[in-house]
Chains A and B, each alone.
Chain A
């Protein structure tokens, strides 16, 4: 701060004390802060570092946890790119001419997600997967004015479920559960039974919360043709480098999280909620959207578009309230995808598949274990039936610095799935670490 400039400014305003600028705040509501004095940068660095060191050293933990957040390798260039301060210190690109960099990068992100999902219309992000799902259900109701039921399978992530319920609490949309079958995938008979004229849409998660993939996707395509309900598909973008894009088999809206594409686990956030939909519904979409256009000289340019859907213009009739989103993470994700390239992505996806299947086989050979517990095709995550209580097993493995998988038989998860855990294996897990897991599972029982 320049010495004395505050005095010059006060003088210019014709006042002696900055307090005069607060004279409109009535005395009876004046308060003081009760927080500590500030720290210098040097002290601050060591103070916060020492706090963070109270976490278990991440290098000492071997984790097989997934359930929505996955450990993947992130090339150094991703951090470097997303760390450019012209990107990260900018606001939402309201002034297109001076924000072409961010706009073009976000258009690349939208284009990548379109390629992966098979749906052309993509926004720059929702907060995360659960909120993207909630927005998708609300959008389904905007598209389909008739009907007030939305079908959600039981094999949905408990967090998606809880968030969705909250978003619908004031709306006339009823969530109805569809069972899963013996393979953990959607029970198609039950689904068909529940499909009536009141159903405005269905949610299909593939991979589902058990890691399983829906295999008869043409069933959903036919279903849509027969019943005309809106189909929302939840997925993992990494599997989409190997899997038929949902846009090809009937999805109207695809949601998910781009975290597996170059975003650190970061204790669950920030990530990137994916939202893609069929081109015919662009005017019903939530969120920021970047469009391609030209400048006054006919040069290609980008800008935020279809803004009349949005809160700052349409207010109470906006398609959503979202304003700040997860744009920088979308940019990071786009840079990750380009750095890997289509061949690189495919290679990583195959490695995930191979390692997870290998690990499941090894676990399945162990006495008393069953993997996958739900006998279904999977990508990089699968269920394991354990011969002892999952929490006990988890605790014992933890002592050996191994996190073998997430117990699913919690009261707020799937309490009926006794002794079942969810195990994820990404390209990060070495053969040696898988052996460590196998050995500790053996020792535990």
Chain B
């Protein structure tokens, strides 16, 4: 198999470089604050700018270009009808402070989405405010914080397994909590370790299930019992919800708070880094703590409710990333009960199929059956004095985006692979063939990869050393 991908390769200078010095004329602002020199931004004809960005887009790889098996990121196909609906003026032009009576369509959709998500998570109520998964995490922890405070309890620890995604520990310390990380046993939470860690200082316990190794934590209910007995709350990181829709819910696992990643499970495009949306669901126990406003329905009219008894207040301006919410709503409506259930089934089937194909070529630590993703170890690359990173770069030459690498840290030289349900068997076979082919390749070929992308291997060390973060910082 020969790598036949060819990405466009243009030498495009930055537009900002083309700017010239210019004075601001007739500045209406008072002299003390008036700018004399205009910001250095070029004045160029429209078609030139359109061409520039068009060429840049040719030097970028999206799901619409090819297979994107980034583990933990659920890079499924983004349907075009959601884009179309989310670009209608009724969706894009309303001002957030226009009267509720002028926004009934939006509010109805938000209200329905709250209900749909509540059902999907087995939760009682939902806030659509958080802008991403990590934002949902910190919102959930704020809720836990206020909940304990109202009980007069000072609990300063949050427990999680060592397989946790980086945002979990970061959210914990950002809010001033101490992190208690417990080591996993056979890739899953060690109940004894949890029992030992849980106590009167425990504010919350966080996991994602299936966990980041793709293993379902079968003891979730026991974990809930241990943590609840200690007086703590359970937080479910919804990044991996794509593995369980229609099979189980965080609510069924007795978790109290969760977030959804609409830009993963519900197929809203990732936008090269965002925007996303991370609604938070809660069970009745902490419903009154949700951020305000939430949308409620009264006699067929929809309105914002600012009067939740114990609300933590706001976590974001306005009401969340509305256009992303709309896209997720549209997707859920399109898929419906059966569509979502089969999405989960096919995602898990694809994952296990690819796992079985790949375990011939790379090591698979921690057992067989996986949910929507699995983690391989690239330590075989060491035989050639190479690393997982080299394998990842070589995959680009074959026209595949690389999997997530070096996470979870538990696995040596990790490759975390999530095919998602929207990929065909043919694509998975092609990817498996590429891996098999790379494993047979000469060291030099792999080491010098990629060759078929817009640029060759990028010098990340130099980027750090020079730290040029804007044109202004270039000397």
Contacts and interface: CB of A to CB of B under 8 A. Distances in A.
Interface in A293-345: 293-297, 299, 301-303, 305-306, 310-318, 320-329, 331, 335, 337-339, 341-345
B22 A342 contact: yes
Nearest to B453: A97
A21 B455 contact: no
Given A84-B57, A295-B458, A323 B133 contact: yes
A226 interface: no
Given A48-B333, A342-B41, A97 B272 contact: no
B185 interface: no
24 contacts: A24-B369, A25-B247, A35-B119, A35-B332, A41-B81, A44-B334, A49-B90, A51-B105, A53-B105, A91-B270, A106-B273, A167-B175, A215-B30, A217-B33, A241-B38, A242-B24, A243-B34, A269-B131, A269-B316, A270-B321, A295-B459, A321-B138, A324-B261, A342-B40
A251 to B, nearest CB: 13
Given A97-B393, A166-B312, A327 B271 contact: yes
Nearest to A48: B85
A320 B174 contact: yes
A409 B253 CA distance: 45
Interface stretch (B59-67, B192-200, B227-235, B435-443): B59-67
B14 A107 contact: yes
Query: Would you list the 5 A-B pairs with minimal beta carbon distance, nearest first?
Result: A268-B318, A38-B336, A170-B176, A328-B271, A327-B273
A242 B27 contact: yes
Given A293-B460, A327-B274, A25 B216 contact: yes
A335 to B, nearest CB: 6
B29 A213 contact: yes
A78 to B, nearest CB: 10
Contact of A267 (B30, B169, B318, B338): B318
Given A5-B426, A267-B95, A290-B469, 5 more contacts: A36-B337, A270-B321, A288-B273, A296-B457, A312-B165
A71 B93 CA distance: 8
Given A2-B426, A323-B132, A49 B88 contact: yes
A37 B273 contact: no
Interface string A100-119: 11101111101111111000
B62 A110 contact: no
Interface in A160-176: 160, 162-163, 165-167, 169-172
Contacts of B94: 55, 58, 265-267
Contacts of A240: 35, 39
A34, A240, A292: most-surrounded residue (chain B CB, <10 A): A292
A302 B272 CA distance: 14
Nearest to A26: B218
Nearest to B17: A111
B49 interface: yes
Contacts of A322: 132, 134-135
Contact of B469 (A37, A39, A289, A350): A289
A55 B104 contact: yes
B41 A341 contact: yes
A445 interface: no
A153 interface: no
Contacts of B43: 341-344
B6 to A, nearest CB: 12
Contacts of A75: 46
B50 A81 contact: yes
A130 B109 CA distance: 25
Is the interface on chain B under 10, 10 to 19, 20 to 34, or 35 or more residues?
A: 35 or more
A10 to B, nearest CB: 7
Interface in B216-271: 216, 218, 220-221, 244-249, 251-253, 261, 263, 269-271
A88 interface: yes
Given A88-B269, A90-B270, A90-B272, A97 B62 contact: no
A49 B46 CA distance: 32
B1 interface: no
B28 A242 contact: yes
Interface in A45-97: 45, 47-49, 51-59, 61, 63, 65, 67-69, 71, 75, 77, 79-81, 83-97
A265 B337 contact: no
A417 B348 CA distance: 58
B213 interface: no
B454 A97 contact: yes
B42 A269 contact: no
B466 A346 contact: no
B58 A86 contact: yes
Nearest to B19: A342
Nearest to A318: B170
A54 to B, nearest CB: 4
Interface in B60-108: 60-65, 68, 70, 73, 75, 78, 81, 83-85, 87-99, 101-106, 108
Contacts of B350: 9
Contact of A311 (B52, B70, B134, B278): B134
Contacts of B103: 55-56, 267
A167 B218 CA distance: 34
Nearest to B344: A22
Interface residues of A, number: 189
A193 B252 CA distance: 55
Contact of B137 (A23, A115, A288, A321): A321
B472 A127 contact: no
B34 A325 contact: no
A71 B95 contact: yes
Given A25-B218, A265-B92, A301 B458 contact: yes
Given A29-B253, A169-B145, A98 B345 contact: no
Interface in B299-358: 306, 312-324, 329-330, 332-341, 345-346, 348-350, 352-353, 356-357
A239 B27 CA distance: 11
A58 B50 CA distance: 28
B353 A305 contact: no
A8, A65, A115: most-surrounded residue (chain B CB, <10 A): A115
A99 interface: yes
Contacts of B348: 18, 21-22
Contacts of A38: 333-339
Given A86-B58, A242-B35, A269-B318, A169 B44 contact: no
A28 B221 contact: yes
Contacts of B458: 96-97, 293-296, 301-303
Nearest to B393: A97
Nearest to A124: B273
A47 B94 CA distance: 20
A171 to B, nearest CB: 5
Contacts of A320: 170, 174
B179 to A, nearest CB: 5
B407 interface: yes
A35, A83, A127: most-surrounded residue (chain B CB, <10 A): A35
Nearest to B422: A1
A211 interface: no
B467 A282 contact: yes
Contact of B464 (A85, A116, A305, A321): A305
